[in-house]
Each structure stands twice: as C-alpha cells, then as structure tokens.
Amino acid sequence: MTLESPVSIRSVRRSILCSGILLLSLEAGPGPVSVAGARAFVDPARHEIVIELAPVDLPANATHDAMALPPIAILPMPASGSLYGFRVEMVDTAGRQLPAELIHHFNLIDPDHRELFLPISRRMIAAGKETGSKQIPWFLFGFPVEKGERVLASAMLANPTDVSYYQARCRLVLLYTPASRPWPLFRAEPFQMDVAFPVGDKSFDLPPGRFSRSYDGSPVVPGTIVAIGGHVHELAQRLEFVDVTSGDTIYGVRPATDSTGEIIGDRVLRQSHRSRHSRRRHGRRGRPVCAGPWRDVARDQSHRLSVPEGSTPRDAAGRRP
C-alpha cells in the first residue's frame, strides 16, 4: 500500500491501495440477492458477506483438463463497508464443508474500475486452494465497497478425489466491519499483476530446462506496497516481483509442495523493505521461473496491497475507458 505523507492518527481516512488478499467492511444488508443460481448475502451474526456461485456437479477422478466452470455471476454487493479478510469454501446443498482441493481458483472482479498497471477491469480478490484464510489488521486497513456496486464472480473447480459431489457450491466469504464504526484508519484497494498481461489466453508451452516469463509495467499512481501474495501452477520454482529501474527484488517466493509435487503453499525467499515504494516512473516486473517441459503452467497472478500517495487508481483514472 502507499501512504500519504505525513500521516497522522487524526487524519484517519487516508486512501490505501491494497492487493487481492485484503477484505472490506460492510454494513449488514437485506436478504440474499440471487442471479441465475448465484447469490450474495450478509451474515450479520458472523460479520461476513458471502458470495456464492451456482451449484455444479463434480464427478470423481477428474483431470486438470476436465475443469468445471460454474456460470459467471454479476451480482450487486449486498452491503456497504470495509473488508479485511476472506476465505474460499466448497459446500454441499446442506452447507456442509467439502474438501478444499476441489477449488482451483476463485476470482472477484470490479468491472467498473481499472487496474493499477492497466486500463482493464480491477481484480478485487483472487484465491486458490493453497491460499487458505487471509486476514489483515481490521483496525488499520479496509477495502471499501458500496451496497449495490457490481461485482463479477467466477471460479474453476476440479475433483481429483475418488468421491463424486453433486450440486456443490463454491463460495467466497468476506470478513467485514460495520460501516457505522470509526475504523479502519486507512482505506485500501487491491491491484494485481499477471505475467501474461494484458488480456487474452494466459497459457503457453514450457520448453525443457530452465525458463522464465515476465511482464513489465508502471503504476498509474505512486505508492508504497505493504503486502504481496501470488499464485503459480505446478513446475514453477520461483515467483519474483522486481523493481526494473533499480534492479531490487521486492518480493520472492518459492512454492511449497507435498511429496507428489502438488503445490500446497509458498515459502517467502525475499521480501525487501527498502524497495516497496512504487514510483510512477519505476517499472515493475512479475516473473515466474519454471522447469519444463509442461503445458499451460507457470502463471504469475501476484496480488498486492499498497497505499497510494494522495490518490488511488480510482481517483486518478476513474472508471475504465
């Protein structure tokens, strides 16, 4: 995130730019809003917003090429407030938890505002099965949302288990603080960088041996990065976020795998505190390093949290062209 300078406790509503791992706080809203089997609703007792996709059948022993795609849903946000945490779940028709390994990824998109690095729809949150539950300090940071604003939700699912699941639902659960409260101190917004930016097919062939692919870009407004996360596919060995102008590696991570090579998390190799200031004229590079051969692999979806100086991408560039 990037902070305005100087920052005082009294000026508590500074704009923040936050990455996909940050969530918003919202006021409790009315009952569920449903669109073509998908729905968005507020659980006021648990202080959670739930965005749930339409149910799908997941046959057993599905391969990576046999992904299930619930219908993409455009839903109105059911409440206003600030998010500060999230998790992605699979549930059956009775709401009972199903194995997390059914989830490949879940995306939540703001179709009406731009990204920090490109004039494309802003990704609010993205998570894979290895992401787990994420949370930021609710008193300090929050990603503001407004009741009625459009969000686009999508997911990709696969069932490698020996059990078939019918009418299973994928849901995104957002932790929130009621908007009537005086916190968080700083408002935050997400941004992302993908090695296959800008748009189109993100797959590519991976040749034998060591291979890397990158995307370079510059932010539309300056800021200071405060949190970073990422997502890669199998055979990726490292993911880096680099200041191209200075040569500093801001963030480096190596995927953590189980005995079969399945990615189950990540291990941070480097996280620089000196290079987090994101200047408009400084280029940034997202770069995964992989070992091949493989196909449709090594995708960098880095999600970051930053606080902009003086304005957010929404303020600077407004809605997408």
- Specify the CATH number for the domain of residue 103: 2.60.120
Q: Which of 123, 152, 187 is a domain's end point? A: 187
- The answer, yes or no, to whether residue 154 has pLDDT greater than 50, is yes
Under 8 Å CB-to-CB from 83, ≥6 apart: which residues? 22, 23, 24, 25, 26, 49, 142, 143, 145, 174, 175, 176
- The answer, yes or no, to whether residue 270 has pLDDT greater than 60, is no
| Exposure of 127 in the CB half-sphere (CA atoms within 13 A) | 28
- The answer, yes or no, to whether residue 6 has pLDDT greater than 50, is no
Q: Which of 128, 154, 187 is a domain's end point? A: 187
As a whole number of angstroms, the distance between CA 320 and CA 57 comes to 36
Q: Of 122-136, 150-164, 290-304, which has the strongest mean pLDDT?
A: 150-164
Same domain, 270 and 231: yes
Q: Which of 8-12, 101-105, 126-130, 210-214 has the lowest mean pLDDT?
A: 8-12
As a whole number of angstroms, the distance between CA 126 and CA 301 comes to 8
What pLDDT, on the 0 to 100 scale, is given for residue 309? Answer: 54
Mean pLDDT estimate for the chain: 75
Instruction: Give per-residue pLDDT as tens, 86-115.
Output: 999 999 999 999 999 999 999 999 999 988
Q: Of 18-27, 29-38, 96-105, 268-277, which has the strongest mean pLDDT?
A: 96-105
Q: Which of 187, 206, 225 is a domain's end point? A: 187
Same domain, 67 and 161: yes
Same domain, 168 and 257: no
Same domain, 53 and 167: yes
User: 149 falls in which pLDDT band (50, 70, 90)?
Assistant: very high
Under 8 Å CB-to-CB from 249, ≥6 apart: which residues? 240, 241, 242, 243, 270, 272, 275
Q: Is residue 3 part of a domain?
A: no
Q: What angle do CA 320, 231, 305 make, to 5 degrees?
A: 55
Q: Which of 171-180, 220-229, 270-279 has the lowest mean pLDDT?
A: 270-279
Instruction: Give per-residue pLDDT as tens, 194-212.
Output: 877 777 777 777 788 888 8
Over residues 168-172, the mean pLDDT reads: 96
What pLDDT, on the 0 to 100 scale, is given for residue 246? Answer: 82
- The answer, yes or no, to whether residue 294 has pLDDT greater than 80, is no
Percent of the chain with pLDDT over 90: 31
Q: Tokens 């998570």 identify what position?
A: 127
Same domain, 128 and 56: yes
Q: What is the CATH number of the domain that holds 256?
A: 2.60.120.230
Judged by DSSP in three states, 101 sits in helix
As a whole number of angstroms, the distance between CA 82 and CA 23 comes to 7
- The domain of 302 spans 193-313
Same domain, 161 and 42: yes
Over residues 152-165, the mean pLDDT reads: 95
Q: Tokens 């539309």 identify what position?
A: 220
Q: Is residue 43 part of a domain?
A: yes
Same domain, 38 and 182: yes
β-strand partners of 215: 286
pTM attached to this predicted model: 0.72
Residue 102: phi and psi, rounded to 5, are: -70, -20
Which helix or strand (DSSP H or E) is residue 111 part of?
strand 103-114
| Exposure of 190 in the CB half-sphere (CA atoms within 13 A) | 31
As a whole number of angstroms, the distance between CA 228 and CA 272 comes to 11
Same domain, 125 and 168: yes
Same domain, 73 and 34: yes
Same domain, 176 and 210: no
Under 8 Å CB-to-CB from 11, ≥6 apart: which residues? none
Rg (CA), the chain: 19
**Count of domains for the chain:** 2
Strand runs (DSSP E) across 183-283, as ranges? 186-187, 189-194, 205-212, 215-217, 223-229, 236-243, 249-257, 263-271, 277-278
